């Protein structure tokens, strides 16, 4: 499956009004599609990616030359079956894979945005996605699906555009960012901004890259994506290419080598300023605070059908957060199902080949499609 690089210019006539009070005109959204749009245009599934994701969910990523980040879930006869569904995924606003963000040129000044790019929120990202969907002539989405920060977006879609969403599958996520998660993000941001090559965010102009800071930020974040059990199973206290410790500060343990590799490869594909902006958008996410009365009023009388999924070993967004979402939906009589997947793979389990998870997604989508008469 080949991936072409698709972009569209939005906000030509009506700008995108941001939560910060600022606005964006003539901004780009990069996106990818899989499968075919049916005659009734009622087989559309929107995939929302997480912090470090992009629009290339399946096939081969033309930038990294590696399989798309959700290739295990999207494709012919897979849980999100492209024989039946038309799948869309866009690079989020503020991202670094073609959508307008800090590494792109400001069309008004013809200079790189860098840190002059406006601070954005999850709701801003969803507004941009809605503009894309409108531009593509799609009136209603069969489902909006996302894990982690993608789950934030799925929940926001259901809150902001319930009339345009039949169903939502928020995975391994929460209704707001916790203090602990904000703290992890701040350490990552400080690592980037403390790198001399960050140059106050103007590193592109200086022809530099804050590689060390971004690498450390990724290493820290990656620790949160796995569980203690997963780290122990994969690495334990195994040494890296040696029989005994070296009594120094070079790489002794396999887990150290693994984290360094994760940091180094991340630097090659991700923009440091985008990392700052997206993590801040995640920190600002607080769905109950968007309306008086909190989640209950946000989803009161919602027509959206929900399938909330969590993982037992996820300590970034533990099951208790999913249950609070489910309890709020149940309190207003919403159509909601909930599945907690037993696994020791941690937060990233939704990206891996988990049989129960795959069958849950497949079953929910097919049931929803059958009810809606999708051929």
Residue 205 a catalytic site member: no
- Collapsing DSSP states into helix, strand and coil, what is residue 165? strand
User: How many other β-carbons are positioned within 10 Å of the β-carbon of residue 265?
Assistant: 14
Contact status, residue 8 vs residue 31, Cβ threshold 8 Å: yes
Residue 197 a catalytic site member: no
Among 90, 97, 99, 148, the active-site one is 148
Is the C-alpha dihedral spanning 71, 283, 182, 338 positive or negative?
A: negative
Distance of CA 358 to the CA centre of its chain: 18
Give the contacts of 190 (CB within 8 A, at least 6 positions apart): none
Residue 185 a catalytic site member: no
Among 90, 314, 322, 328, the active-site one is 314
- Among the listed residues 367, 365, 374, 375, the one whose alpha carbon sits nearest the alpha carbon of residue 144: 365
* 86-90/27-34 β-pairing: antiparallel
- Among the listed residues 20, 344, 342, 318, the one whose alpha carbon sits nearest the alpha carbon of residue 180: 318
Angle between the 122-135 and 272-284 helix axes, to the nearest 10 degrees?
A: 100
Which residues are marked as active site? 148, 314, 347
């Amino acid at each position: 499956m080949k991936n072409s690089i698709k972009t569209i210019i939005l906000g030509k006539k009506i700008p995108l009004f941001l939560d910060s009070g600022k606005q964006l005109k003539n901004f780009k959204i990069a996106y990818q599609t899989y499968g075919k749009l049916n005659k009734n245009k009622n087989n559309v599934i929107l995939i929302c990616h997480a912090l470090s994701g992009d629009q290339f969910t399946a096939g081969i990523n033309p930038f990294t030359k590696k399989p798309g980040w959700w290739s295990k879930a999207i494709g012919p006869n897979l849980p999100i079956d492209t024989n039946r569904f038309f799948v869309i995924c866009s690079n989020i606003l503020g991202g670094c894979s073609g959508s307008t963000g800090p590494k792109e040129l400001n069309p008004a000044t013809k200079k790189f945005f860098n840190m002059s790019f406006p601070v954005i929120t999850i709701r801003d990202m969803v507004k941009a996605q809605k503009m894309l969907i409108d531009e593509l002539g799609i009136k209603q989405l069969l489902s909006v699906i996302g894990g982690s920060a993608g789950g934030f977006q799925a929940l926001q879609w259901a809150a902001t555009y319930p009339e345009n969403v039949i169903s939502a599958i928020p995975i391994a996520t929460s209704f707001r960012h916790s203090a602990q998660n904000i703290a992890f993000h701040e350490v990552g941001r400080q690592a980037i901004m403390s790198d001399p090559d960050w140059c106050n965010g103007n590193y592109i102009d200086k022809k530099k890259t804050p590689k060390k800071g971004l690498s450390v930020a990724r290493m820290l974040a990656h620790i949160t994506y796995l569980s203690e059990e997963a780290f122990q199973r994969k690495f334990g206290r195994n040494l890296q290419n040696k029989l005994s410790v070296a009594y120094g500060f070079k790489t002794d343990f396999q887990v150290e080598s693994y984290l360094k590799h994760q940091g180094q490869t991340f630097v090659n594909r991700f923009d440091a300023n985008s990392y700052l902006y997206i993590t801040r958008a995640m920190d600002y996410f607080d769905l109950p605070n968007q309306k008086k009365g909190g989640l209950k009023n946000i989803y009161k009388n919602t027509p959206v059908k929900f399938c909330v999924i969590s993982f037992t070993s996820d300590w970034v967004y533990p099951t208790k957060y999913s249950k609070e979402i489910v309890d709020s939906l149940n309190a207003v009589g919403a159509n909601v199902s909930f599945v907690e997947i037993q696994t020791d793979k941690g937060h990233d389990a939704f990206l891996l080949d988990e049989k129960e998870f795959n069958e849950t997604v497949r079953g929910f989508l097919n049931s929803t499609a059958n009810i809606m008469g999708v051929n």
